[in-house]
Amino acid sequence: MNLKKQTLSRLGYSHYRPLQEEAIDALCSGRDVLLAAPTGGGKSLVYQAAGLMRRGVAVIVSPLLSLMTQQVTALNAKGIHARFLNSTLNPGEQDDLIWALRHQRIDLLYLSPEKLVQPSVIGFLHSVDISLFAIDEAHCISQWGGFFRPEYSQLGQLKTSFPGVPIIALTGTVDQTTTTTIQESLRLTHCLVMKSSFDRANIKLHIAQKRKSKQQILYFLHHEVPGETGIIYCRSRKKTEQLAAWLSALGLPSLSYHAAMSDADKQKNHTIFTQQYGAIMVATTAYGMGIDIPHVRFVVHLDLPNSPEAYFQEVGRAGRDGRPAKSLLLYGLQDMLQAQQLIALQASAVEQDGQRLGSLFRILEGRGCRRQNLLAHFGETLAACNHCDRCLTTSSEQNVTTASQKLLSLIYHTKGLQAFSVLVAILLGKKNKAVSAIKAESSPLFGKGKELNEAQWKSLIRHLIAYEYISVGTASVFTLHINEQSRAVLQGKAQVIIPSEHYYPALQEDQLTL
């Protein structure tokens, strides 16, 4: 058996996946590699195998303690000498480790970026034989994807300090901006860039409109994924706890996870979740990076993710075993307005945050196959998937250009001072307090928008926001404003076509039969 095959079986596998072998070959010949593959794509095997095949210790930079522990434990169980260097080691253990490294008793060494860039650590590494550097989750170098970790930006010194040692950067995102930043920051001038398809065909995408979201979750859990293990993502910490308690009380075993919990509680809930089949983890995005649980069958988003990258990564935690998995994202106009406003009001927000959110909106609002729209963001062209909500329902589309013109005119005539709900009420000819307060009954547009119902008007507004034909104000009620682009719609140069939408079905608590 040749070394490559031998190494593969030492790691417990029978075949290399496409790309794995090519990347390993490049590293073994001393070449730098940038490997962009989706979560669950099998990136770890590349540096583990190449590390075992080359002389010396492979130094693996990993941003999360839990990720390191998980990998080291798994490797040790296979009889491979892997260790980690981090602040949890006592001085005795550290001395032990240093001795083992000096005597070439270790094949793979995991450490955090903070640890690696310490001058004493860099100095020490000069005294040992290093086979390769692996920079895991390398997108943390870039501000672009929203996973920025400042320590990562210092890793560029590796190439200068250890010019002969190959570096492999691994990332779960594939957009050009991020990959270019990674190459520049790590000074990988002649690296082999490998991008695998980001299509995770086994995960069914469903994006739908939110109304009575708790009951909608119940419907999903009961009808779509009964008894399965999965993750529900929410934005607020309190909501994770409340929803987990509510679901548990209904007999659906749920746990919560968020950044403000103690490490012990987080660890406890994570362990239960990994071991108890059918458990539901209700979490903020704090539960994420590095989580490798093969049997997660579903991921639900009860709030909007921050970017297409975040959405993709979070959804990608389902179906890591390759078997069918489901995802559901519920949102509404209110969520879009809130997210948009949050960015407008945040002093620390950068322009990119707004762009990322805009890209997400266009994925949600775009016509046609969900998977095509999502993957197009990552530069991939796919055939329609035939199993997302759009492909499965014979969704018709509606040209709402004239209705959009009415809305834009109304925004113009009310000087952008009115909340969207008031604008919709005026167009539908509804008399309420807010409408009367501005004497809108006498407006020429009063009751002139009855060709659409309220849900369709909201859908139209979401569409106009996503394609930036209107902007969102920063007032406490959500006001809408016309902008430069609105003119294209007003003049009929841009058509507004929306897919027919439906609310996701709901199931009342008392209809739940377990």
Pick 69 or 398: Cβ nearer ligand ADP:
69
Nearer to ligand ADP, 23 or 507 (CB): 23
203-209 and 57-61 beta bridge pairing? unpaired
In the list 1, 15, 264, 450, the residue contacting ligand ADP (rule: CB under 6 A) is 15
189: burial class by Cβ within 10 Å (0-12, 13-18, 19+)? exposed
CB of 17 to ligand ADP, least distance (A): 4
3-state secondary structure of 191: coil
Nearest-angstrom CA–CA distance, 6 and 25: 15
Looking at the Cβ atoms of 44 and 185, the one nearer to ligand ADP is 44
Q: Closest separation between CB of residue 466 and ligand ADP, Å? A: 30
Pick the closest to residue 30 from 167, 158, 136, 162 (CA basis). Answer: 167
Shortest reach from residue 278's CB to ligand ADP, in Å: 20
Asked if 16 interacts with ligand ADP (CB under 6 A), we say yes
Contact set for ligand ADP, span 22-81 (CB under 6 A): 37, 39-45
CA-CA-CA-CA torsion for 44, 46, 49, 52, nearest 10 degrees?
-90
**205 token code pair:** 């995408």
Site track for ligand ADP across 188-227, x = CB under 6 A? ----------------------------------------
Rounded least distance, CB 36 to ligand ADP, Å: 10
User: Which residue bears the tokens 């704090």?
Assistant: 286
> Which regions of 179-279 does DSSP assign to beta strands (E)?
192-195, 203-209, 230-233, 254-257
For ligand ADP, give the closer residue by CB, 45 or 299: 45
Closer to ligand ADP at the Cβ: 16 or 312?
A: 16
Q: Which helix (H) or strand (E) is 398 found in, with range?
A: strand 397-399
Q: Which stretch binds ligand ADP (CB under 6 A): 12-20, 56-64, 92-100, 430-438?
A: 12-20
Q: How far is the CB of 184 from ligand ADP (least distance, A)?
A: 23
Tell me the window of 16-24, 82-90, 207-215, 434-442 that interacts with ligand ADP (CB under 6 A): 16-24
Give the binding range for ligand ADP (CB under 6 A) out of 13-21, 56-64, 471-479, 504-512. Answer: 13-21
For residue 30, the minimal CB distance to ligand ADP (Å) is 23
- When binding is defined by CB under 6 A, the residue of 17, 81, 115, 239 that contacts ligand ADP is 17
Report the amino acid identity of residue 24.
I
Size of the site for ligand ADP (CB under 6 A): 16
Residues 81-140 that bind ligand ADP (CB under 6 A): none
Site residues (CB under 6 A) for ligand ADP, limited to 314-343: 320
- Identify the three-state secondary structure at position 438: coil
Question: Is the CB of residue 148 less than 8 Å from the CB of residue 181?
Answer: no
Nearest residue (CB) to ligand ADP, 28 versus 455:
28
106-to-65, 340, 392 alpha-carbon distances in Å: 19, 50, 52
- Contacts of residues 364-369 at CB distance under 8 Å and 24 or more positions apart, as own/partner, are 364/207, 364/329, 364/331, 364/462, 364/466, 365/462, 365/463, 365/466, 365/467, 365/498, 366/466, 367/397, 367/497, 367/498, 367/499
CB distance 345 to 474 below 8 Å: yes
Whose Cβ is closer to ligand ADP: residue 37's or residue 466's?
Answer: 37
In angstroms, what is the minimal distance from the CB of 386 to ligand ADP? 25
Tell me the closest approach of the beta carbon of residue 71 to ligand ADP, in angstroms.
8
* R_g of the chain computed on alpha carbons: 26
Sign of torsion over alpha carbons 42, 43, 48, 49:
positive
Minimum Å distance from CB 427 to ligand ADP?
48
Least distance in angstroms from the C-beta of 379 to ligand ADP = 18
Helix (H) or strand (E) holding 84: strand 82-85
What angle separates helix 351-365 from helix 370-377, to the nearest 10 degrees?
160
Q: Is 396 helix (H, G, I), strand (E, B) or coil?
A: coil
The DSSP symbol for 403 reads H
Q: In angstroms, rounded to a whole number, what is the distance separating the alpha carbons of residues 486 and 494?
A: 9
Q: 100, exposed or middle or buried, with CB in 10 Å at 0-12, 13-18, 19+?
A: middle
Restricting to residues 277-296, name those near ligand ADP by CB under 6 A.
292, 294
Site for ligand ADP in 345-404 (CB under 6 A): none
Q: Which is nearer to ligand ADP, 23 or 37 (CB)?
A: 37
Q: Which lies closer to ligand ADP via its Cβ, residue 196 or residue 459?
A: 196
CB 426 → ligand ADP: shortest distance, Å?
A: 51
User: Using the rule CB under 6 A, is 13 a contact of ligand ADP?
Assistant: yes
Closest CB 75 distance from ligand ADP, rounded Å: 11
- Separation of alpha carbons 199 and 101, rounded Å: 40
> Does 18 contact ligand ADP by CB under 6 A?
no
Pick 200 or 210: Cβ nearer ligand ADP: 200
In the range 473-512, which residues lie near ligand ADP by CB under 6 A?
Answer: none
- For ligand ADP, the binding residues (CB under 6 A) are 13, 15-17, 20, 37, 39-45, 292, 294, 320
